[in-house]
Chain A
Amino acid sequence: MKTVKQLVCLLFFSLLILTLTDALGKVFYSKNEAMVLAFGEQAKVELLSLFLTENQISEVEGLSRGKLDSALFSFYVGKQEGRITGYAAIETHTVRTKPETLLVVLDPDGKTRAIHILAFHEPPEYQPPLRWFEQFYKHELDTLDFNQDIQGISGATLSAQSALTSVRKVMAMYRIAKPEDNLN
């Protein structure tokens, strides 16, 4: 038993030293990197600010099943050779007491094409794996629900719930505020 204990201690300190000397710092995406993720290197990105009316706010809240905290919403519009390649939104929500920031990328027709976690300030074990977000891709807003096409995840229930609301919000915003009609 003494030998086992000594081996455990030795292993622990070896790994600890390895950690501290070869630390792989966790990298988050900057906004500029996020735009490349969303639209690629060559795309031109424009900011589109949408000023929502009371009715639009109400409709978006109804569809997304979440509260909007502002009447101003921003889409990033990706363009290549004058053609719109997609819309992206940077959505931040509180998981428990700390924020998670998602990049939600929509196709020109308003369906989710990609989701990336840009920042996650809660402990890492509450962070859903990226593959979990793949369930959202190419689905209609109406099927994005835990009772329909999105299946929950154990261990990250609150993160999953708030991520679902955020994605629904971005899709609802596309449907109600019609960003393509607000482009110059």
Chain B
Amino acid sequence: MKYIKKIIIYLLFISTANAFADEPPQSVGDLWKIIQAQQAQIDQLNARLETQGKSRETEQTSPSAENTGTASKTTTDVEEVARKTDILGAEVEKLRTALVIPEDKQLKSAYGLGPAASKVYQVDKGLSIGGYGEAFYQNIVADKGDANDNGDFLRAVLYVGYKFTDNIILNTELEFEHASTGKSGSISLEFATLDFLMDPLANIRAGLVLIPMGFINQIHEPNFFFGTQRPEVERRIIPSTWRENGVGLFGELIPGLTYTTYGVNGMDATGFQSSGIRGGRQSGSRVLAEDLAWVGRMDYAPPELPGLQVGGSIYLGNSGQNQVFAGQKINAFTQLYEGHIQWKYRGLEFRALGAWGHIDDADILSAANGQTIGSSNFGWYTEIGYNILPLILPETSHYLAPFFRYERLDPLASVPNGFADVGNLDREIFQFGLQYKPIPNIVIKADYRNFSAREGSVPDEFNLGIGYVF
């Protein structure tokens, strides 16, 4: 018995001594290994104590000085190892938190990192990388016409941000569309902005900015909207993804009331088509800036009703860009107004959005562009989805939501005198589908879209898609 005890104490001494005699632990992992080793020793010694306790009970009738001394020594050893384990536990916690916040106020750096921690662990301070992507397969199920079943890796987007200081931040997104530039794909800058953060009330943003209209144009990661395809209203009436070069302000005026406003280059009316203003986007590439535009947005999320958001936005600007249309220079004043509401409540997700636009000089534009340009356009949609999985599997973290969306849009709501309406563009869309997320960053989608038009037919689709965001 005495022999075994000596071996245990010797091993304990050697291992503990080694732990402290070597180089100090370099990481949380190293410390954790030491703690685990010590915890094992504590368990071993505790077991030993229990055994000795039992032995003492049986030997109480004839206690010996040797047994009493052994028990006392082992108890001291256990206490000592427990003390060291506590110290190491505290050190691990200190290292863990030092990776993200400094210990003391005096050690605060610009990024909230302890300077020592960032140096030792080489944490990249300002760089932020993210991205998203989406791909789909489309099966034409009715009114096929000339349409064929198809598939596309629609987007792969890489986000890179850099925090130069706590109040000067760069945000960029580089977009790869349709998988290959050799097959009508493209690589574009989706946005690139410098934010100058001054005060919650007002901050400056400059660069290639996303026009702050609707739901999709600013937040278009596939995980955050229903359906494989973006809503048609937010493609044709609000031409997402719509970005222009500009500068402006954003901030929060009172709790829950946020705004964004930019001055940007105007659109280029030479790109306007019967299907909408989408072709008039300049997307930051060698833009014409003879005409500027103003866009403003406000949203209110009442603090008393978490999950509710209501808002609206306005775009106003000339699109003529000092160019000649059918022999004359025109302003082509372009207006777009939009309102939206979103409500998330107990797994229910509801959205509604309406947009109305007007284009001046539509008759001249129609003559110049060789197709009818709508004097006015409109679109609206509403959708509802509900995460049903917690009803079936209460402890699950997965997400499965059936959803339904209804859309109505007409980019030629009114046409200039002498130009024909295109009834096929006046559309109504019924869509339903399923959205599954095994984790919040991954989404698998399936949906059916039924199109009907005032004139002619539009192919109906069944879509399967995947998406990711990180």
Inter-subunit contact B167/A101 (CB<8 Å): no
Inter-subunit contact B306/A101 (CB<8 Å): no
Which residues of A lie under 8 Å from residue B108 when comparing CB positions? 27-28, 30
Residue A114 at the chain B interface, CB threshold 8 Å: no
Once the chains are docked, how many angstroms separate the CA of A158 from the CA of B153? Answer: 23
Which residues of B lie under 8 Å from residue A153 when comparing CB positions? 301, 306-307, 344
**Closest CB-CB distance, A78 to chain B, in whole Å?**
15
With both beta carbons as reference points, the residue of chain A lying nearest to B100 in the complex is identified as A101
Inter-subunit contact A49/B89 (CB<8 Å): yes
Inter-subunit contact A97/B219 (CB<8 Å): no
Once the chains are docked, how many angstroms separate the CA of A23 from the CA of B204? Answer: 12
Inter-subunit contact A47/B93 (CB<8 Å): yes
Contact of B90 among A4, A20, A27, A47 (CB under 8 A): A47
Contact A119-B309, Cβ < 8 Å, known A25-B165, A30-B105: no
Residue B284 at the chain A interface, CB threshold 8 Å: no
Contact of A154 among B219, B391, B395 (CB under 8 A): B219
Which residues of B lie under 8 Å from residue A121 when comparing CB positions? 100, 111-112, 128
Residue B37 at the chain A interface, CB threshold 8 Å: no
Inter-subunit contact A31/B35 (CB<8 Å): no
Once the chains are docked, how many angstroms separate the CA of A154 from the CA of B310? Answer: 11
Which residues of B lie under 8 Å from residue A96 when comparing CB positions? 128, 130, 159, 469-470
State the B residues within 8 Å of A (CB). 32, 35, 39, 85-86, 89-90, 92-93, 96-97, 99-105, 107-108, 110-113, 128-130, 159, 161, 165-169, 171, 195-199, 202, 204, 206, 215, 218-219, 223-224, 247, 249, 255-256, 263, 289-292, 301, 303, 306-307, 309, 318, 342, 344-347, 349, 387, 390-391, 395-397, 440-441, 469-470
Task: Name the 3 nearest CB pairs between A and B, nearest first.
Answer: A151-B307, A49-B89, A28-B112
State the A residues within 8 Å of B (CB). 1, 4-5, 8, 12, 15-16, 18-20, 22-34, 47, 49, 51, 62, 65-66, 70, 72, 74, 90, 92, 96-99, 101, 118-119, 121-124, 129, 131-132, 135, 145-148, 150-155, 157-158, 161-162, 165
Return 30 A-B CB contacts under 8 Å, by A number. Answer: A15-B204, A16-B204, A16-B206, A19-B167, A19-B197, A19-B198, A28-B112, A30-B104, A30-B107, A31-B97, A49-B89, A49-B93, A72-B32, A74-B96, A90-B97, A92-B96, A96-B130, A97-B129, A99-B99, A99-B100, A118-B100, A118-B101, A119-B112, A124-B169, A129-B255, A131-B303, A146-B346, A147-B347, A153-B306, A155-B218
